[in-house]
Amino acid sequence: MKPTRSLLIVFLLPILMVLLPLFLILVLATQAIKAQSLQNYQLQSNDLNTLVQMATFDRKISDLHQRITEVLNRVAVTNLSAMQRYTEYNFINQELNKVGQSIDQLATSPLILDLSPESAVTLQRAFHQYQLFINMANGAATLNQSDPGFFLQEAHNHFSTFTLFSQQVFEELTERARDRHRDSYQVLIDLRLTTLWIGVGILALLISTAALVAWRINNRLMTVGDAILALSDSHKKLPDFHAIKRMSQRRSGSLKRVAKALMTFRDAELQRREAEHKVHRLAYYDTLTELPNWQLMKEHLARSLETSQQTSVYGALIYIDVDDFKRINDGNGHSAGDTILQHIAERLGNLEHEGCTVGRISGDEFGIIIDGLASDQHEAAGKAELFAEQVCQLLTQPYYLNGNYHFLNISQGLVLFSCPGKSVDDLFQYANAAVHIAKKTERNAIRFYDPAIQAELEARAELERDLRLAIEQQEFLLVYQMQVDNLGRPIGAEALIRWEHPSRGRISPGVFIPLAEETGLIVPIGSWVLRAACEQLVAWQAFAHTKELVLAVNVSAKQFQQPNFVQEVSHALEASGATPHLLKLELTESTVLGKVEETIERMHQLKALGISFAMDDFGTGYSSLQYLKRLPLDQIKIDQSFVRDLHQDTDDRAIVQTIIAMGRALGLSVIAEGVETVEHWRYLNEHQCHAYQGYYFCKPVAAEEMARLCLAPPPELA
């Protein structure tokens, strides 16, 4: 048999297993239902004939009885000749005999026998009694021996009895015929249902068997197909081919031949791949460390550079050079140096970073390619430097060799890549140049090729170090910007932090606050601000013109979300003795985002201490309106970006009016920051803003200057 025909039978076998038995079942079921239907029809036809005969018989015997009565009566009152009487009586006997035959035939009907054999016998007996008296009356009238009226009366009585019994039997036959028809129909229905369920069961069994056969056939074909695909894909590892091996040992025919051929092809493919792998390892991998060599690193860098240029996401090349490695070779031999290099390769291979490729460039030089750092150059540089620091920490750990510990220093050169115009050779050249610069500076140094980025990173690292020292040495101070009511009278102030650097002078919060937020140093800085503000409230309590001032303190999201923040505020109030209702915490929308329910609960806990809340920079976010009605706020603060161009931008005026109306509708006080001109103040006052803050009233000043300004008369609204 040809292979194509074999496969055709393989695919048709499950279908034939279902279709042929199903067709046979349908034929048998149809024949059985047809035979039962024919039997039902014959039964109903016979019963109907019996009922028709019964009805016809009743009508005939009634007509006959009436005629017999008329004949006998006419014979009694008229003088008929003997021949005439004989003719009439002979006709009567013939008709009675015919009726008797009909009754005998009817008595043998299956319907009457099914009803009751006694009914048939009783019916025959009643008719024979009637026939007997008719014959006696007939004989008496013919021979003129006696009065036939007596026999006629008896015949009439038996006729009445016969008629009543006949009608009763007819009704019972009708009911019985109906029951037989219903039973036969039910039998037909039951036969159909039984045939249907048996057919469904057999069909389900056939389908299950066909599915099992198809599944097994499919598994074998899939096994063969997977093996062919595995052999055709040279980039995937070859499977064990256990199923193919079992098929070649247990099966017969075409599948066995195919399985043996596949096993032969697999052995040949394994040999070819092993040879190819050896050639590839020699060409692209370092034989000592088994890391990618210089050639493969160049290819990886070329692909990374192309991807980076397409996605505009920066990558980095790190060039690692082991300092004074010649000392290891000279002092311990080249075998020790090779072992150290293997340890370095093993440590680099354990680096956990997605899109990281490690290779040995030459001698004691290694390279690392990092893909997908960031789309922002400064952020990518920061991540690359952090990764280089991890590499430095990893490789400078001691190496245990021949009973002694050896310590290494490394220099690293970094270069970012994303912009077109740079080749792979250029990147290696730049990274190598950065390594030489690192070697000349200090031990375990990390240097970028780009001087600008290097300078910025160094400045950022220096600023972070100085910021940590500033927290320890308390180089911060607070200044205060007055807040006034609609008449210009002082009602409070906002505490603003400043950093007095010992060598760089005062550093703007816009420089160090973002760094503090990023590094988490904002939490200790915020704690210091809270304590200093409470102490200032206590100092102002000693003077009548400042004891009612409410001091607003900005709280960052990280500080507010600290688990012990409520206890920290409570402790600061108790330790300083400050009045809680004079302390106001200003939150931004970022504080509320995220853990909303936890934030609301924490605000209620602080409200229970007597502290008030203001929503700072209101209108610049996207979600405050959603939670505004649920937050226990006392005040919302119009951001200065909406106040600055109030008389030039109609959108700003509309936003300001909306915020004031919203605050008034929710029962919240509204304060506007950034009020720098009398026009700002006049417009806001006309639209019923409650409080104001800005350079027009007071610049951020020291606490003593703030106290003096409170004694000055308020400005007049011209």
Q: What is the DSSP string of 382-420?
A: HHHHHHHHHHHHHHTS-EEETTEEE--EEEEEEEEE-ST
pLDDT reported for residue 594: 65
Annotate 450-465 with b (16+ C-beta within 10 A) or e (fewer): beebbebbeebeebbe
Question: In the structure encoding, which two tokens stand for residue 194, read together?
Answer: 């039984």
Task: Report, as an integer, the average pLDDT of 128-157.
Answer: 63
pTM for the whole structure = 0.50
Q: How confident is the model at residue 554 (pLDDT cuts 50, 70, 90)?
A: very high
Question: In the structure encoding, which two tokens stand for residue 226, read together?
Answer: 């997977």
pLDDT reported for residue 475: 92
pLDDT reported for residue 5: 45
Task: Supply the DSSP symbol for 644.
Answer: T
pLDDT reported for residue 274: 76
Whole-number mean pLDDT of the chain? 80
pLDDT tens digit sequence for 61-103: 776 777 777 666 666 555 555 566 666 666 777 767 777 666 7
Q: Annotate 366-381 with DSSP letters as a single string.
A: EEEEEEEEESSHHHHH
pLDDT reported for residue 4: 41
pLDDT reported for residue 329: 78
How far is it, in rounded angstroms, from Cα 616 to Cα 614? Answer: 6
Task: Report, as an integer, the average pLDDT of 217-243.
Answer: 70
How far is it, in rounded angstroms, from Cα 425 to Cα 422? Answer: 8
| DSSP helix/strand/coil, 471 | helix
Neighbours of 499 (CB within 10 A): 21
pLDDT reported for residue 88: 65
Task: Choose between 615 and 197: higher pLDDT.
Answer: 615
Contact (Cβ atoms closer than 8 angstroms) between residue 490 and residue 712: no
> Of the ranges 375-389, 432-446, 546-560, which one carries the lowest mean pLDDT score?
432-446
pLDDT reported for residue 3: 42
pLDDT reported for residue 2: 43
pLDDT reported for residue 405: 84
Residue 483 confidence (pLDDT) above 90: yes
Residue keyed to tokens 């400050």: 578
pLDDT reported for residue 442: 82
**In the chain, % of residues over pLDDT 70:** 70
Contact (Cβ atoms closer than 8 angstroms) between residue 134 and residue 92: yes
Residue 561 confidence (pLDDT) above 60: yes
Task: Report, as an integer, the average pLDDT of 112-131.
Answer: 66
Contact (Cβ atoms closer than 8 angstroms) between residue 361 and residue 319: yes
How far is it, in rounded angstroms, from Cα 135 to Cα 93? Answer: 8
Instruction: Give the Cα-Cα-Cα angle 544, 550, 552 (nearest 5 degrees).
Output: 145
Alpha carbon of 401 to those of 82, 336, 339, 358: distances in Å? 159, 8, 8, 24
Instruction: Give the Cα-Cα-Cα angle 373, 375, 381 (nearest 5 degrees).
Output: 55
| DSSP helix/strand/coil, 439 | helix
Q: How confident is the model at residue 1 (pLDDT cuts 50, 70, 90)?
A: very low
Residues 6+ apart with CB under 8 A from 463: 511, 512, 515
pLDDT reported for residue 118: 66
How far is it, in rounded angstroms, from Cα 650 to Cα 279? Answer: 74
Q: How confident is the model at residue 193 (pLDDT cuts 50, 70, 90)?
A: confident
Report the relative pairing of strands 409-417 and 314-323 from DSSP bridges: antiparallel
Task: Report, as an integer, the average pLDDT of 465-472.
Answer: 92
Task: Report, as an integer, the average pLDDT of 349-363.
Answer: 83
pLDDT reported for residue 350: 83
> Of the ranges 43-52, 198-207, 282-291, which one carries the lowest mean pLDDT score?
43-52
Annotate 313-338 with b (16+ C-beta within 10 A) or e (fewer): bbbbbbbbbbbebeebbeebeeebbe
Q: Annotate 499-543 with DSSP letters as a single string.
A: EEETTTEEE-HHHHHHHHHHHTTHHHHHHHHHHHHHHHHHHHTTS
Q: What share of the chain is helix, strand, coil (3-state, %, to 5)?
A: 65, 15, 20
Q: How confident is the model at residue 327 (pLDDT cuts 50, 70, 90)?
A: confident
pLDDT reported for residue 540: 94
pLDDT tens digit sequence for 602-649: 999 999 999 999 988 887 765 456 677 788 999 999 999 999 988 888
Task: Report, as an integer, the average pLDDT of 406-424.
Answer: 85
Contact (Cβ atoms closer than 8 angstroms) between residue 123 and residue 165: yes
Residue 171 confidence (pLDDT) above 60: yes
pLDDT reported for residue 711: 86
| DSSP helix/strand/coil, 314 | strand
Task: Supply the DSSP symbol for 480.
Answer: E
